[in-house]
Amino acid sequence: MDKYMDWRGKVLRRRYRLDERVALGRTVEVFLGYDLVEEKEVVVKLPLPHLVSDREYCDQFRAAAHRATRLRHPGIVEVLDYGVEEGRPFVVQEKVEAKTLHDMLEAGKKMKPLGALYFAVEMTRILSYLEKQGLSHGSLDERHIFIYPGRRAKVSDPGFPVVMGGTENPFPVFFNIRRDIRDLGYLIYRSMAGRDKSEVLKDIRNGRLRWDREVPPRLERFVKLCLDTGEGRGFASAREAFQEALSSLREEIPMVAVPGDEQGEKEEMLEEVPATVALPLPRLRRWQIWVGSVLLGVGLIMIVFWILSGFIGGSKVEVPNLVNVSVEEAQKIAAERDLGVLVVGRDYDAEVKANYIISQDPKGGEMVKRKTVIKVLESLGPLTVPNLVGLTLEDARSVLESRGFRVGEIVYKEVAGYSENRVVETDPPYGSKLSTGDSVRLVVNRKSP
């Protein structure tokens, strides 16, 4: 295990350089790194050396990293990449320029009631998103929460294993959102109390929370419901907790504007506008009606002239070849010949750059009437083969099919360091550029009989 003891200066997969170890947790060490390809700073997390031999833990770590790459939410620290180096898994995350809630509490700062309400809305919105994805955080604490100016927050490491695989309950239950809601109640209470953890936990165990006089009753009730959620009472879902937090905030600031991330939130905000309110229409003057009528008549004449010009002109033009031309440039080229361009579909293509044209109808060189619309298929660029190493065969198959690939040949062979039925290699390898419908060959670990 000595080879894992100090990886400062090491370059993972010829891309991520580990510059400085900035944190040491219960299960991982955290490095400030540098992406040599994108030329930007990143954060790299690796399991502690003594956990590398724990196969179950490493499998769970890789699986959690894979799930995290599919999460896209402004309140979640983005996972950029993951992989395995010398048998040791790692995950690459965006570098966050903000302090953690732990840092702020250690500095002696406290949340004010209004700030706590905003924090409750932010956090329950994030938990609602995870709930919708079929996940929960599993280890929500002050070290995993970053606080931004403007009352914004981000969380890191949702769904990652937090303890060794040899214990009774080694990993977070990936869909136990009630535990996250309970932990949120603890975090809000501790952040407002400004006291030591042991004192806060004692208050919670005794069921006697000590609040300052300026704390709104709705906020006290919200925290109580969060704490009760861990015992099967309280909130039934993160969505319900979000609605309660938002309602509590609006009770304090009725006209507050809270941006929503989900369609449900937008619909909820729209429902607050009474449907029976009649808006008064302005009374138009006679000269305004006259001017409007003239403009309308001119517009109608221009439209009729444009339609008839296609029949009157009668001349034909040659269709330009727009394949491998950007959509924007294609529209300019077509307009010069009095033709139009309509994007009728988009697809992934390894040979054609994103926003460029894959095919067209009619084809280049054909003679058509003016005003003809050319239907084109726009490229979304190449499909990148995802990192499937460490996933079960079933999960790998699901990921490939959901991203537009076909599952190719499946080859079984025994490979040391992996659990049975886990993917150990893909062909083409991770990062290869393919088109929609291309197949990926999987090599799966299986012990010899």
The confidence score (pLDDT) of residue 169 equals 44
> In this predicted model, which residue has the larger pLDDT, 389 or 412?
412
- Is the model's pLDDT at 54 over the cut of 90? no
Q: What would the mean pLDDT of 231-243 be, rounded to a whole number?
A: 87
In this structure, of 297-301, 345-349, 383-387, 442-446, the range with the lowest mean pLDDT score is: 297-301
Report how far Cα 204 is from the mean position of its chain's Cα atoms.
34
Residue 325's pLDDT band (cuts 50, 70, 90): very high
Residue 288's pLDDT band (cuts 50, 70, 90): low
Using one digit for the tens of pLDDT, what is the confidence trace for 101-157?
999 999 989 999 999 999 999 999 999 999 888 888 888 889 999 998 878 899 999
Using one digit for the tens of pLDDT, what is the confidence trace for 166-217?
444 444 444 578 889 999 999 999 999 888 888 999 988 888 898 988 999 9
Fold for the domain defined by 2-94? Phosphorylase Kinase; domain 1 (3.30.200)
> In this predicted model, which residue has the larger pLDDT, 249 or 449?
249
384-445 matches 99-269 in CATH topology = no
In this structure, of 34-48, 54-68, 94-108, the range with the lowest mean pLDDT score is: 54-68
- Is the model's pLDDT at 55 over the cut of 90? no
Cis upstream peptide for 282 (omega within 30°): no
What lies within 8 Å, CB to CB, of 150 at 6+ separation is none
- Enumerate the domain spans of the chain: 2-94, 99-269, 310-379, 384-445
The CATH number for 310-379, chosen from 3.40.309.10, 3.30.10.20, 3.40.50.720, 3.40.50.970, is: 3.30.10.20
In this structure, of 237-241, 344-348, 409-413, the range with the lowest mean pLDDT score is: 344-348
Helical H segments across 314-389, by residue range: 327-336
Strand, coil or helix: 215: coil
Global pTM value: 0.58
- Is the model's pLDDT at 260 over the cut of 60? no
Show the tokens assigned to 261: 């991330």
The confidence score (pLDDT) of residue 281 equals 45
Show the tokens assigned to 148: 């931004």
Residue 255's pLDDT band (cuts 50, 70, 90): low
What does the alpha-carbon distance between residue 22 and residue 29 come to, in Å, rounded to a whole number?
Answer: 8
Mean pLDDT of the chain: 83
> In this predicted model, which residue has the larger pLDDT, 263 or 401?
401
Sheet holding 406-413, edge to edge: 406-413, 439-445, 423-427
DSSP 28-45: EEEEEEEETTTTEEEEEE
- Is the model's pLDDT at 418 over the cut of 80? no
Strand, coil or helix: 347: strand
The confidence score (pLDDT) of residue 323 equals 94
The confidence score (pLDDT) of residue 308 equals 63
Domain 99-269 has CATH 1.10.510.10: yes
Are 16 and 36 contacting, i.e. CB atoms less than 8 angstroms apart? yes
Amino acid at 127: L
- Is the model's pLDDT at 275 over the cut of 60? no
The confidence score (pLDDT) of residue 324 equals 93
Fold for the domain defined by 384-445? Trypsin Inhibitor V; Chain A (3.30.10)
Amino acid at 120: A
Cα–Cα distances (Å) from 242 to 125, 127, 213, 233, in that order, read 6, 9, 24, 16
Going by their DSSP bridges, the two strands 79-85 and 439-445 should be labelled as unpaired
Q: What percent of the chain has pLDDT over 90?
A: 40
Sheet holding 79-85, edge to edge: 11-12, 16-24, 28-35, 40-47, 88-94, 79-85
